[in-house]
């Protein structure tokens, strides 16, 4: 099945001690159809999230901006901007604020402009914190979830800290992917929990996870997780370093049904390591994105030092995944996901299939005229004989209609020297 992604653009960013950075897009994207995924390392030596929590949004039609709450220490990493085909995926974007108020827990709902089918929709959110009271994980950790009509976030403690962010809901309209939502709830004595899901193909699935926690300290051990699919795609698992805080990890499990593929593997830092490399099957870097399994790429550690648990995850080549953190000091474990998206069509050919002036159902296939390479296949309609065949190739093609096995025997029909039409909105 032809894919739903028009482009992937990757930026390296470096706040260099400042509050924000703005980058200019280069692939002519329509930002209304884009979803940014972010992963970064930090030089922050404490748990002070105002220095490393980064909001990410599009300030205009040609740029993307990163912004944090406090200009101290440094944050550097990658943004992967995935542009979806609006004919296949609906993206809804918006901003949200979790106000500074003495309420526990605090839930913030934002009404969506259009209702979604939650079995086909997921969301990612990026946000920054205000400048006071942000050391504690319970004030800046958000569990993100969707209902049919709302984007929602929940945190345990709303006192002394406001959060400002942007969300990106992406919903399949044509069956390219399906989604499951599930929560893992950790009691005070739990460090490892898993739960069953409807079995997915791990080679076509990735996860997004976010955290709600009562941990009011700065130790990352209660609230950072090694999160992954297990059991051959039949369950999800979360593991943390320390027990002692009530914590809920919310998962979106996204399974693709087109030609998208996902590479999974382990991130492992020894106490003396700042870099971890893994060899992967080759990907097309024009359509590949690293998507962290946990918020902004945090990994499981037992430490109060933020720079040990934040890592920049990216592709150093088409066959190598790399994770970097700012400093050494303790071991850390995590999981990576490299998603090679199947390309959106961009073009189509269409026509009618008739047998003695009667519309018929037949298999129709297109091929590149210069190389003979297969492009795509569809079936003509039995109502009017029409076929619509999407392709990623803009050059000359020939289209073959195959006779069925029943009734009279006919030769295959061939349309040659076909120039495809640009898909509307593509």
β pairing state of 261-269 and 320-324: unpaired
pLDDT tens digits, one per residue of 59-79 = 999 999 999 999 999 999 999
Is the separation of the CB atoms in 50 and 129 below 8 Å? yes
Residue 412: which domain range?
347-422
DSSP conformational letter for 101: -
Instruction: Looking at the structure, tell me whether residues 320 and 401 fall in a common domain.
Output: no
Q: How many CB atoms lie within 10 A of CB 216?
A: 14
pLDDT tens digits, one per residue of 75-127 = 999 999 999 999 999 999 999 999 999 899 999 999 999 999 999 999 999 99
**What's the confidence (pLDDT) of residue 134?**
76
Q: Which of 305, 340, 375 is the last residue of a domain?
A: 340
| CA separation for the pair 230, 336 (Å, rounded) | 14
pLDDT tens digits, one per residue of 7-39 = 999 999 999 989 999 999 999 999 999 999 999
Instruction: Looking at the structure, tell me whether residues 275 and 409 fall in a common domain.
Output: no
Q: Is the pTM of this model over 0.85?
A: yes
Residue 144 φ/ψ, nearest 5 degrees: -105, 135
Q: What residues are paired with 355 via a beta bridge?
A: 358
3-state class (DSSP) for residue 221: helix
Question: What CATH number is given to the structural domain containing 406?
Answer: 2.60.40.10
Is the separation of the CB atoms in 81 and 9 below 8 Å? yes
Instruction: Looking at the structure, tell me whether residues 11 and 63 fall in a common domain.
Output: yes
Element (H, E) at 307: helix 306-309
β pairing state of 205-213 and 247-256: antiparallel
Q: Which of 307, 340, 373 is the last residue of a domain?
A: 340
Q: How many domains does the chain have?
A: 2
Confidence of residue 426 (pLDDT cuts 50, 70, 90): very low
Residues with Cβ within 8 Å of 177's Cβ and at least 6 positions away in sequence, in order, are 4, 120, 254, 255, 256, 257, 258, 260
**What's the confidence (pLDDT) of residue 425?**
54
Tell me whether residue 149 is exposed, middle or buried, using C-beta atoms within 10 angstroms of its C-beta: 0 to 12, 13 to 18, 19 or more: middle
pLDDT tens digits, one per residue of 340-374 = 999 998 888 999 999 888 899 999 999 999 999 99
CA atoms within 13 A on the CB side of 92: 20
Instruction: Looking at the structure, tell me whether residues 324 and 410 fall in a common domain.
Output: no
Q: What percent of the chain has pLDDT over 70?
A: 99
Instruction: Looking at the structure, tell me whether residues 215 and 317 fall in a common domain.
Output: yes
**What's the confidence (pLDDT) of residue 132?**
76
pLDDT tens digits, one per residue of 145-191 = 999 999 999 999 988 899 999 999 999 999 999 999 999 999 989 99
- Give the angle subtended at the CA of 315 by the CAs of 240 and 267, to the nearest 5°: 20
pLDDT tens digits, one per residue of 299-329 = 999 998 888 999 999 999 999 999 999 999 9
Instruction: Looking at the structure, tell me whether residues 266 and 394 fall in a common domain.
Output: no
Instruction: Looking at the structure, tell me whether residues 418 and 272 fall in a common domain.
Output: no
pLDDT at 259 over 70: yes
Confidence of residue 1 (pLDDT cuts 50, 70, 90): confident
What's the rounded mean pLDDT across residues 254-269?
A: 97
**What's the confidence (pLDDT) of residue 159?**
84
Confidence of residue 227 (pLDDT cuts 50, 70, 90): very high
What's the token pair of residue 337?
Answer: 């996901």
Instruction: Looking at the structure, tell me whether residues 189 and 235 fall in a common domain.
Output: yes
What's the rounded mean pLDDT across residues 254-279?
A: 97
Instruction: Looking at the structure, tell me whether residues 301 and 387 fall in a common domain.
Output: no
Q: Which of 340, 374, 401 is the last residue of a domain?
A: 340
Instruction: Looking at the structure, tell me whether residues 395 and 284 fall in a common domain.
Output: no
pLDDT tens digits, one per residue of 125-139 = 999 998 877 778 999
What's the token pair of residue 157?
Answer: 């403690």
Confidence of residue 394 (pLDDT cuts 50, 70, 90): confident
Instruction: Looking at the structure, tell me whether residues 312 and 386 fall in a common domain.
Output: no
DSSP-assigned states of every residue in 101-113: -S-SSEEEEEE-S
| CA separation for the pair 332, 337 (Å, rounded) | 17
Confidence of residue 424 (pLDDT cuts 50, 70, 90): low
Can you tell me which residue has the tokens 């492009």? 375
Question: Cα dihedral angle (320, 325, 330, 335), rounded to 10 degrees?
Answer: -40
**What's the confidence (pLDDT) of residue 218?**
86
CA atoms within 13 A on the CB side of 289: 27
Instruction: Looking at the structure, tell me whether residues 86 and 215 fall in a common domain.
Output: yes
Can you tell me which residue has the tokens 């320390």? 242
Tell me whether residue 157 is exposed, middle or buried, using C-beta atoms within 10 angstroms of its C-beta: 0 to 12, 13 to 18, 19 or more: buried
């Amino acid at each position: 099945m032809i894919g739903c992604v028009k482009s992937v653009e990757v930026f390296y960013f470096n706040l260099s001690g400042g509050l924000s950075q703005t980058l200019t897009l280069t692939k002519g994207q329509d930002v209304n159809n884009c979803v940014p995924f972010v992963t970064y390392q930090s030089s922050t030596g404490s748990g002070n999230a105002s220095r490393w929590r980064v909001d990410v949004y599009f300030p205009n039609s040609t740029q993307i901006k990163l912004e944090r709450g406090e200009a101290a220490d440094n944050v550097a990493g990658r943004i992967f901007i995935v542009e979806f085909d609006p004919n296949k995926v609906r993206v809804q974007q918006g901003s949200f604020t979790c106000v500074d108020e003495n309420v526990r827990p605090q839930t913030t709902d934002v009404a969506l402009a259009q209702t979604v089918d939650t079995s086909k929709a997921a969301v990612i959110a990026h946000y920054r914190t205000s400048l006071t009271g942000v050391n504690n994980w319970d004030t800046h950790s958000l569990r993100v979830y969707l209902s049919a009509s709302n984007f929602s976030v929940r945190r345990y403690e709303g006192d002394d800290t406001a959060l400002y962010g942007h969300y990106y809901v992406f919903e399949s309209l044509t069956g390219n992917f399906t989604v499951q939502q599930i929560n893992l709830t950790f009691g005070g004595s739990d460090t490892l929990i898993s739960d069953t899901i409807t079995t997915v193909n791990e080679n076509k699935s990735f996860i997004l996870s976010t955290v709600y926690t009562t941990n009011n300290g700065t130790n990352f051990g209660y609230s950072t997780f090694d999160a992954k699919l297990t059991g051959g795609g039949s369950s999800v698992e979360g593991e943390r370093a320390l027990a002692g805080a009530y914590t809920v990890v919310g998962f979106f499990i996204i399974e693709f049904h087109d030609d998208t593929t996902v590479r999974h593997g382990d991130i492992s830092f020894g106490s003396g390591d700042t870099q971890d490399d893994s060899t992967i099957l080759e990907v097309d870097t024009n359509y590949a994105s690293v998507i962290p399994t946990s918020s902004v790429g945090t990994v499981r550690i037992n430490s109060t030092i933020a720079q040990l648990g934040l890592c920049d995850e990216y592709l150093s080549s088409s066959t190598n995944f790399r994770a970097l953190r700012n400093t050494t000091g303790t071991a850390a474990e995590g999981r990576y996901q490299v998603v090679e998206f199947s390309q959106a069509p961009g073009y189509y050919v269409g026509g009618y299939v008739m047998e003695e002036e009667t519309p018929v159902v037949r298999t129709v296939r297109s091929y590149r005229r210069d190389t003979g390479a297969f492009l795509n296949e569809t079936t003509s309609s039995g109502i009017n004989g029409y076929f619509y065949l999407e392709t990623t190739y803009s050059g000359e093609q020939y289209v073959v209609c195959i006779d069925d096995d029943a009734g009279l025997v006919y030769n295959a029909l061939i349309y040659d020297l076909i120039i495809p039409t640009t898909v509307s909105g593509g």
